[in-house]
Amino acid sequence: MWHLVGITLCWWLAFLLRLDFALPTPFENAPLETLWLAVVAQAACILIFRLYRGLWRFFTFRDCLITAVAFLVSNLWLAVGIYFWKGGTFEDFPRSVIVINYMLIIAWEIGGRAIVRFFREVRFERMYGKSELRPNVVLVGAPDECDIIIRSLVRQTGDYGRIRAIVTDARRHKGGRMHGIRVFCDLDAIGKIMLEKNAEILLIVPPFNSPKKVRRIVDSVSSYNIRCEYHVVPAIDDIALGRVDVSQIRRVEIEDLLNRKSYGIDVKRLEQFVSKRRLMVTGAGGSIGSEITRQLIGLAPKVLVLFEISEFALFEIERELNAMGSDVDIIAITGDVRKTSDIRTAIERAGGIDVVYHAAAYKHVDLMERNPFGCFENNVVGTAKLAEVSEEMGVEQFVLVSTDKAVRPTSLMGASKRLAEMFLIDRPKRGTQFRAVRFGNVLGSSGSVVPIFRKQIEEGGPVTVTSPDVTRFFMTIPEAAELVLVAGAVGEDRRILVLEMGDPVKIVDLARKMIELSGLVPDQDISIVFTGLKSGEKEFEELLTDHENVVRTEVDRIWVVKKGDDDSRERLDIGELLEVLDEGDPQALREFVHSMISGSRLVKD
């Protein structure tokens, strides 16, 4: 109906405009006589170009072009139709009427849609009007990406907030405006801009979501002691495809500030190594173990055994993996690595195992200082029994998840992991290949500082840090799991692989950043309290000892420890360790560790 009314009105108005609102002879009957031609020609193009199917609230520049072309074609047809209808002439017909009609019908069709979109889509007042209910937002990003973000969020602005300023590093846009919003070109002045605009949310858009730029942005805001929330659009593909909405915007997490370079993983090599094989992951319900299983599922093994002592953790990871809809045969087994019967049962139920990823371990430093016997029984004796059964039952590859705390250990936990490494690396060759993977702290893993700090912040503080100078190497859970998988396919037998960890991070700086990312001000909203180093803890972690040399592997940023002078005084005898554990004397256990590990710095009990 809209189209028919428009065609009729525009045709009559074109005549009136051309003839100064009078229809003198011989043009007095021309509008009515030719109206049917105008309706047929233009209605035909509306049908052919399917202009009737467009949703007006989503009317775009592309739709404008299509509409203009459609009515240009229809008016050309109209001119040809009138010419032949009048016997090959335009006598008694003002030809300029067709041009005027074209302009009028374009204004009617495009203008009508623009008005509808303006009132139903843009919602100008909701976006820019004053409201105490919606927070003010400062947008940080490249101009093109910011334009897409604004367009994508315009329909949801009532749910998110009012964009009050755009900040970019493109100097040519300084002082300009985009969608009526002022553009600033100084990333170091974001804090000042947030203060001036009374902003409560800072939305960071790719490519400004790199760790280096996010830290720069957070530092700028922090210098003004501003309480604000940091949000990020994680994927630039979502912006390019126009799929950005409020649900895809998330808070900036501490992982976003971690300066970790992605390293090249040869996915084809891993697929060749894993595909159609029988695998077992111990500690499959833990932080690292569960991530290993998630990544293994995508590499299409034949069988995946989930070996876990915790019933609840095993239930959760089995349910998660089954929900992925994979064809992999998943076998969930409750078992203890200290019991050879449990290990044999797991391997037999799978019909044999090709690769074991050993992630089951006690890892909390302070807790293990107070439970030394359980620590060594699980981390050392459990590893030894798992290795021995693996050899007996024909396992091809055995990968141990180790830690940087095994280097010159000051804690019993670190010493237990070092002894586990020694037991595997020093074993006589009997078929199974052994490797250990050594890396630093894992962000977000159970028992790590990140979830502890997060909970302390949620509870209103204080955030507890052991020492102002304590530093740690960090990596993400997916990165750690990838390294473990790569270790199975890279390097020689009986080697320790080390990841190039980058620069260490001060824990107190980590705590401050987490407080700031929570929208709070350190030392004002949340205090930081130093508790002192606990027994067995180091201020600085190391990935290598002075006796260890590393050489680069074919995989970027993964190194292998070169086997040289053995730093152990003698090969580990599990039977001797069991005798020490049976004595129940903590000091005797420490003395045994001192005798086995050169350079250990265990605190005396």
CA dihedral (563, 566, 567, 570) positive or negative? positive
Question: In this predicted structure, which of 258-262, 460-464, 486-490 has the lowest mean pLDDT?
Answer: 258-262
Q: What is the pLDDT of residues 497-522, one digit of tens each?
A: 887 666 778 888 888 888 888 878 88
> What local confidence, expressed as pLDDT, does residue 125 receive?
47
| Average pLDDT, integer, range 554-558 | 67
Residues 6+ apart with CB under 8 A from 344: 389, 393
- Contact predicate 355/373, CB 8 Å: no
- Mean pLDDT, residues 550-571: 63
pTM of the complete model beyond 0.85: no
Q: DSSP label at 122?
A: I
Q: Which of 179-188, 218-227, 443-452 has the lowest mean pLDDT?
A: 443-452
Which H, E and C letters describe 231-269, residue by residue? Answer: EECCCHHHHHCCCCCHHHCEECCHHHHCCCCCCCCCHHH
Q: What is the pLDDT of residue 317?
A: 95
pLDDT band at 420 (very low <50, low <70, confident <90, very high): very high
The residue type found at 194 is M
Neighbouring residues of 376: CB distance < 8 A, sequence distance ≥ 6: 412, 416, 419, 577, 581, 589
**DSSP β-ladder status, 278-282 and 303-308:** parallel
Q: State the average pLDDT over residues 235-251.
A: 60
Residue 245 has a pLDDT of 56
Residue 197 has pLDDT above 90, yes or no: no
Q: What is the pLDDT of residue 123?
A: 54
Q: Where are the alpha helices (DSSP H) in 265-331?
A: 267-274, 287-297, 311-322
Residue 262 CA to residue 275 CA, distance in Å, equals: 24
Average pLDDT, the chain: 81
Lowest-pLDDT choice from 9-18, 202-211, 546-555: 546-555
Nearest to 410 by CA among 535, 521, 252, 533: 535
- Phi-psi bin for 276: left (phi > 0), alpha (psi -120 to 50), beta? left
